[in-house]
Amino acid sequence: MIDYRATPIIEIVTPETNEQNIRLLVRREDLNHPFVSGNKWWKLKYNLEEAVRLSHHKLLTFGGAYSNHIFATAAAGKELGLKTIGVIRGEKTLPLNHTLKFAESCGMELHYISREEYRKKTEPDFIQQLQNLFGDFYLIPEGGTNDLAIKGCAEWALKLEQETKFDYMCLAVGTGGTMAGLINGLSPLKKVIGFPVLKGAQFLEGEIEKQLNINSKNWSLAYDYHFGGYGKSNSVLENFITKMKAEHQLPLDKVYTGKMLYGVLDLIRSRYFTEGSNILVLHTGGLQTNYL
């Protein structure tokens, strides 16, 4: 329904990958769409189809002021001719940041609510209030994670498995929706390693488990690469991102993919992966936050 461009794979070679005969492949899924990029394309795919099938004219969703999901939903709505409403956590601050300026330029209506109100974002009474305010809409939860998003990511997994030979799949994790969908779609012989970007993300284990339709324990979470928490960064991470761009022509973001790839290379250094294996790393997008 929305455009999809074929995405390339690049190989990262380091002294450690050479020494351990590891193939480190990065799927540049960030290049699948100029604005609805990376995993957000796959999470939105069936939600957009459903909204159109149910004859909705409006999408409403939730996010923080830097949300890649808000950015992607605004662009997808514009492309499909659907109105979009972004319910944004916290107060409006001017000038608008890059994310929100872009969202507005796509026609998204921004509705700011306090952090306390934002906590009610899944309560039926609160959704009803939003309906009184905006009329009928198709609701996409925060981060875009719901059953249809998981279905889209399972389809992505199938495609990845058909196109590339790999033993491990690595990706950055926010809500865990993408990871759950990928695990559902992959053969249980593949190992999936998620890199949570939040601090104290142990709760994700149960969140992901709940959304699985297979009972396999072929997946794990690497908790040590959050760099202080969501949106937090430091010079080690920033230098790493600069180095990956210069030496491997690989652009990464500070919120998700930079932390994840730092973690993957650190695990390679500590010989976590079996010698001679192939690791498929997913570039899930998010480069828009580099403009902030």
Helix (H) or strand (E) holding 16: helix 15-19
* Residue number, 142 or 161, with CB nearest to ligand PLP: 142
Contact letters (x/-) for ligand PLP, 63-92, by CB under 6 A?
-----xx-----------------------
Least distance to ligand PLP from the beta carbon of 57, Å? 25
Contact letters (x/-) for ligand PLP, 239-258, by CB under 6 A?
-----------------xx-
How big is the site for ligand PLP, counted in residues (CB under 6 A)?
20
Separation CA 220–CA 200 (nearest Å): 15
Q: Which of 178, 190, 193, 280 touches ligand PLP (CB under 6 A)?
A: 178
Q: Whole-angstrom distance between the N-terminal and C-terminal Cα of the chain? A: 29
Please list every residue from 272 through 291 that binds ligand PLP, using CB under 6 A: 284-286
Three-state DSSP state, 90: coil
| Torsion angle of C-alpha atoms 291, 246, 9, 284, degrees rounded to 10 | -30
Stretch that binds ligand PLP, among 36-44, 81-89, 155-163, 230-238 (CB under 6 A): 36-44
Residue 39 in contact with ligand PLP, rule: CB under 6 A: yes
Least distance to ligand PLP from the beta carbon of 63, Å? 10
Going by their DSSP bridges, the two strands 9-12 and 23-27 should be labelled as antiparallel
Least distance to ligand PLP from the beta carbon of 288, Å? 9
Stretch that binds ligand PLP, among 51-59, 88-96, 107-115, 166-174 (CB under 6 A): 166-174
- Token reading at 66: 């830097």
Cβ(224)–Cβ(203) under 8 Å? no
Stretch that binds ligand PLP, among 37-45, 105-113, 162-170, 213-221 (CB under 6 A): 37-45
Helix (H) or strand (E) holding 109: strand 109-113
Separation CA 26–CA 29 (nearest Å): 9
Q: 235: which DSSP letter?
A: H
Q: Which of 152, 176, 185, 258 touches ligand PLP (CB under 6 A)?
A: 176
**Within 10 Å of residue 66's Cβ, how many Cβ atoms?**
18
Q: Which residue, 21, 83, 1, is CA-closest to 268?
A: 21
Least distance to ligand PLP from the beta carbon of 55, Å? 27
- Token reading at 246: 């210069």
Applying CB under 6 A, the residues found at the interface with ligand PLP are: 38-40, 68-69, 143, 145, 172-179, 256-257, 284-286
